[in-house]
Amino acid sequence: MVAGLATGAGALPVLFTRRVSHRILDVMLGFAAGVMLAATAFSLLIPAIELGGIWITVLGTAIGGLFLHLVDRFTPHLHFISGPEGPSSNLRRIWLLILAITIHNFPEGLAVGVSFGSGDMRAGMALATGIGLQNMPEGLAVALPLVREKYHRRKALWYATLTGLVEPVGGLLGISIVTLARPLLPLGLAFAAGAMLFIVCDEMIPESHRKGHERDATFGLMVGFIIMMVLDTTFG
């Protein structure tokens, strides 16, 4: 829940300003991508390999990526930068945007839930902290375009917060599955890793490079990766 609400906390600046430069947003998005990449490697894939072996991890990663591909392909949603994706829909733009962020955030919640389900509370807290950190720039990236589209600032903040609340749902699902069916733990870790890896490669890195600030976004990614690596190895 705290990791999900961090999305709303990150959107708080929208109450005071309408504009943040594209360069800053791209650096922040790169930072979020770096956190997710490190979490995928250190918090999910390595434990999955240790618990279930390489082939179970390969299978879970592939299934996770394929699942996100199918959800992304067959669910109508909207990215403010790249535009509409999935089948055509008569839903309002705001709901298409919320669907896009929901697709994005659900695997993050699932990853945190599965990590806690492993029984290692320190590792779960480290991952939840990292996901919360990377949710903050995402919240601002959601709220600012809404304000530019003439939504009231408070409503933009509310919608940004709402997009983060899918994470506790994913977390409950993840922890329930691996707690009730303990042998599924390595598969669940790898599935969450594959889903997050798909999002980083398919959406986050390309979107952070669309406005011509590729190098700045890359340094942001490296900082995010390093911070999450330190969190995981120090507190995990």
Give the pLDDT score at 82: 61
pLDDT recorded at residue 236: 60
Residue 118 neighbours by CB under 8 Å, 6+ apart = 47, 51, 124, 178, 185, 189
Q: What percent of the chain has pLDDT over 90?
A: 24
Taking only the tens place, the pLDDT of each residue in 15-38 is 887 677 888 888 988 998 999 999
Question: What is the predicted pLDDT for the residue at 225?
Answer: 95
109 or 100, which is more confident? Answer: 109
CA distance to 4, 43, 70, 100, 182, per residue, from 119 (Å): 21, 13, 31, 31, 10
DSSP code per residue over 35-92: HHHHIIIIIIIHHHHHHH-HHHHHHHHHHHHHHHHHHHHHS-EEETTTEEESS---S-
- Greater model confidence, 218 or 185: 218
Residue 79: which pLDDT band, with cuts at 50, 70 and 90? low
Position with higher pLDDT, 89 vs 205: 205
Residue 148 pLDDT exceeds 80: no
Residue-wise pLDDT for 119-147, tens only, equals 778 888 888 888 888 888 778 877 877 77
Its pTM stands at 0.84
Among 8-12, 50-54, 80-84, the least confident range: 80-84
